[in-house]
Amino acid sequence: MERKIITNEVNLVGTVVTKYTTGGATVLYINTGQTAGKFNYPRAVAFGRAKTFADRLEVGDAVTISGNLQSNLNKNESQYPRTIAVSHIGKIEGEYTNRNRFTLYGRISGIRKINDNTAVGSVTVWTRIKNNIKVIYKGSSADVDRFCSLKSQSFLRFGGYIETDEEADIDYKDRVVVTNYRFVPPVSNNRKPE
C-alpha cells in the first residue's frame, strides 16, 4: 500500500468574531486563542456547501474548520495566503480547546534571511491547483541558519500555525509560521512538479 502525504491542510477551532458575505462566499474571522503569546484571528472563506452552513453561524459561535491555504491564482510569485478555503465547518456545543494548525507538503523554491531570528521562504504546493505560499520561520540565529540552508527544489513537510496582525482587517494579513519541517521524498499520489 502506498503512503499518502497531506499536501495542504489547515485546522482551526475557535470562536467566530467577524462574519460577512461577499459575492458567492461567506468570510469568517476565527479567534483561535493564543499561539506564541498572542491572539490570532485567521480568516476562513466558505464557498458552496460550506457557505450554506457558514451562513447559519453567528458571531460568538464556537466552530471547527478544515480547509486549505490558497495563494492568488493570477500570480506566480510567492505571497502570503490569499485565503483559507473551507472544506468542512461544524458548530461546537459545549467545551472545546482552541486549535490553529497547518500542514503543507511541497517544494521549497527559495529562502531568504530577514534578520538573525527570521527567514521567509516560498513553498509550491499542489492540491487541485498550484499554490505558491510564503512561509515564515522564526527561531534562534542557529535555527534560522539551518532553515536557510535547505536546498531549493527539495520536497519538505511543514507544520505550524497561522499568525495574524493585531490590527487585522480585510487586507490579507495572515502569515504562515513554520514551527517544524522535515524532508519527505515525493510520492506518486501527489501531483508531480511542472
pLDDT tens digits for range 18-66 = 999 988 899 999 999 987 778 889 999 999 999 999 999 999 999 999 9
Give the three cell numbers for residue 120. 521567509
Three-state secondary-structure class, residue 74? coil
Structural domain includes residue 189: no
Domain span including residue 40: 8-183
Confidence of residue 99 (pLDDT cuts 50, 70, 90): very high
pTM for this predicted structure: 0.84
Residue at 175 is within a domain: yes
Residue 194 lies in a domain: no
In a domain, 2, yes or no: no
Radius of gyration of the chain (CA): 17
Read off the pLDDT of residues 58-67 as tens digits, 9 standing for 90 and up: 999 999 999 9
Task: List the grid coordinates of 107.
Answer: 517544494
Phi, psi (degrees; rounded to nearest 5) at 96: -155, 165
Paired strand residues for 30: 16
Element (H, E) at 187: none
Rounded CA separation 85/10 (Å): 9
The CATH number of residue 19's host domain is: 2.40.50.140
Binned at pLDDT 50, 70 and 90, residue 109 comes out as: confident
d(C-alpha 70, C-alpha 48), whole Å = 16
